[in-house]
Amino acid sequence: MMLFFVAMVNNVQSNEKKRNGQQKCRIFASVMTNTYIQLSTPFVIAGPCSVESEDQIIATAQALAQIPEVKMLRGGIWKPRTRPDAFEGRGEQGLVWLREAKRETGLPTATEVATPEHVELALKYEVDVLWIGARTVVNPFSVQQLADALRGTDIPVFIKNPVSPDLNLWVGAFERFQKAGLTQLAAIHRGFAYYKETPYRNFPMWEIPIELTQRLNVPLITDVSHICGNRELLQATAQKALDLASDGLMIECHINPDAALTDAKQQITPDELKQLLGNLTFRSKQSCNVERDLAGLRGEIDDIDSELLQLLARRMEVSAQIGEYKKRNNVTVVQMDRWKKILADHVATGEEMGLSPILINKVFEAIHQASIERQGHIMEQDEDSH
Ligand code: PEP
Ligand code: MN
């Protein structure tokens, strides 16, 4: 198992030689050896959301094995379901079929483990890579149990982001496996639960995986299927992942997606996967890195802007309360002396922070003007209602 990444990397190197001349996009890092290998195509993990039957997994695997970019077969054996009484995976029987699919196609396999019992069975049936699901990574007790169960194996472990956008929780999971002696670790970005409706099933928040890889230097695989939740967004999201220098893609594929027992809406056929991969543009590593750095910084700007908006809304709210108070107590809205003093203080403080007086004057004049208008409006409203 120790040699898994090396084998993968060698395989990748020979593929790369075949594609000589194509633009090279990405590197896939072996965490174990810290060797970086140029890839002309992303490392693709494909396969059904769930292993459902022997025919389903074998037929899917055989079709996927025809696609050169597909380097690994995924298949869920134990499925974490939101509601009870849904299909929860085939369990041990599914592992027998998954191993058979590997024997027939030569594709290494990957599955999700959530308990030490899952670990024991997955190892018994020769699964090559284990991944930790988003619902498990949120629970440090579960992650620790899995790390303890894997101590001494050094099997590759791919760690999905936790459902919540909590970078430290994700980093903490890596640390637990590292402390248990596991060296072949990679990250899977599958998007985050978000407080607003978005076109995605799980909002990508690209800046979080980017920051993770900057902090931990681990390979990053983008699970576009669980980010999108539908087939329509897959192509654009896979392209975005590559543009941000993701090292690989995880894409759910089923021989008959509409009949899938789990995640039917987001699964595609192996033929559709082939087409999707053919439509991807691979960028130079340098431009990927530029995009990645910019995306991280843009994400930060978006967060700051959103904080600014919240602060402005809160300020207007307090300003309205002052308006009500002034009305009740017959105080004039504008108290020019107080305002001039505040503005002068802000300009001085701003200058100490490297901000130009012109900027501070413009911003605070605009805020003050809006406050006065709001307070004036409150006065009028009160008068009208009398
Ligand atoms: C899956 O990969 O099928 C899965 C359940 O993913 P996640 O843990 O990202 O929800
Ligand atoms: Mn799924």
Residue 17 has pLDDT above 70, yes or no: no
Going by DSSP bridges, is the β-strand pair 157-160/129-132 parallel, antiparallel, or unpaired?
parallel
- State the distance from the centre of ligand 2 to the C-alpha of 252, rounded, in angstroms: 7
- Which ligand number lies closest to the CA of residue 134? 1
**Among 335, 343, 348, CA closest to 365:** 343
> Cα of 216 to ligand 2 centre, how many Å?
26
Residues 81 and 134: their CA atoms lie apart, in Å, by 12
User: Whose atoms come closest to the Cα of 193: which ligand?
Assistant: 1
| Residue bearing the CA closest to ligand 1, atom 8 | 133
Cα(264) to centroid of ligand 2, in Å? Answer: 9
Q: Which residues contact 254 (CB under 8 A, 6 or more apart)?
A: 48, 49, 56, 60, 260, 264, 267, 268, 269
Q: List pLDDT tens digits, range 116-168.
A: 999 999 999 999 999 999 999 999 999 999 999 999 998 999 999 999 999 99
In degrees, rounded to 5, the angle at the alpha carbon of residue 210 between the alpha carbons of residues 208 and 211 is 65
Centre of ligand 1 from the C-alpha of residue 34, in Å:
28
pLDDT digits (tens, 9 = 90+) for 274-329: 999 999 988 777 777 788 788 888 888 888 898 899 999 999 999 999 989 988 89
Mean model confidence pLDDT for the chain:
87
Which residue has better confidence, 378 or 49? Answer: 49
CA of 4 to the centre of ligand 1 (A): 23
191 CA closest ligand 1 atom index: 9
Judged by DSSP in three states, 60 sits in helix
Which protein residue's CA is at the shortest distance from atom 1 of ligand 1? 49
Q: What is the position in ligand 1's atom list of the atom closest to the CA of 74?
A: 2
Ligand 2 midpoint to CA 266 (Å): 8
**Which 8-state DSSP code applies to residue 267?**
-
Could you tell me the pTM of the whole model?
A: 0.76
Which DSSP string corresponds to 18-52? HTTTSPP-EEEEETTTTEEEEESS-EEEEE-SB--
Span 323-342, pLDDT tens digits: 899 888 988 767 788 889 99
Distances (CA, A) of 225 to 172, 237, 366, 377: 25, 9, 45, 50
Outline where 23-133 has alpha helix (H): 54-64, 92-105, 116-124
Encoding tokens for residue 236? 């654009």
Q: Give exposure, 109-133, as e/b (b: 16+ Cβ within 10 Å).
A: bbbbbbeeebbebbbebebbbbbbb
- CA atoms within 13 Å, Cβ hemisphere of 304: 6
Q: pLDDT confidence of 44, banded at 50, 70, 90?
A: very high
Give the Å distance between the CA of 59 and the centre of ligand 2: 18
User: Measured in angstroms, how far is the CA atom of residue 52 from the centroid of ligand 2?
Assistant: 12
Percent of the chain scored above 70 by pLDDT?
A: 88
Phi/psi of residue 127, nearest 5 degrees: -65, 140
Those residues with Cβ within 8 angstroms of residue 213's Cβ, 6 or more apart along the chain or in another chain: 187, 220
Smallest CA separation from ligand 1 atom 10, residue:
134
- Whole-angstrom distance, CA of residue 118 vs CA of residue 77: 9
pLDDT tens figures, 215-246 = 998 889 999 999 999 999 999 999 999 998 89
Instruction: Give mean pLDDT, residues 86-110.
Output: 97
Atom of ligand 1 nearest to the CA of 80: 5
Backbone phi and psi for residue 248, each to the nearest 5 degrees, phi listed first: -170, 175
pLDDT at site 9 = 40
Q: How far is the CA of 307 from the centre of ligand 2 (A)?
A: 34
Which of 50, 72, 223 for a ligand 1 pocket mutation test, highest count of atoms within 8 Å of Cβ?
A: 223
Arithmetic mean of pLDDT, 39-64: 91
- Of 357 and 196, the one with more pLDDT: 357
C-alpha pair distances (Å), 364 with each of 137, 169, 203, 324, 361: 44, 39, 34, 22, 5
Q: Which of 226, 252, 261, 267 to mutate to test the pocket of ligand 1 (most atoms within 8 A of CB)?
A: 226
**Which numbered atom of ligand 1 lies nearest the CA of 160?**
9
Which residue reads 């902090």 in tokens?
A: 215
pLDDT of residue 155: 92
Pocket of ligand 1 (CB under 6 A): 49, 76, 80, 112, 133-135, 160, 190, 226
Q: Which ligand is nearest to the CA of 260?
A: 2
- Pocket test residue of 160, 164, 203, 221 for ligand 1, highest count of atoms within 8 A of CB: 160
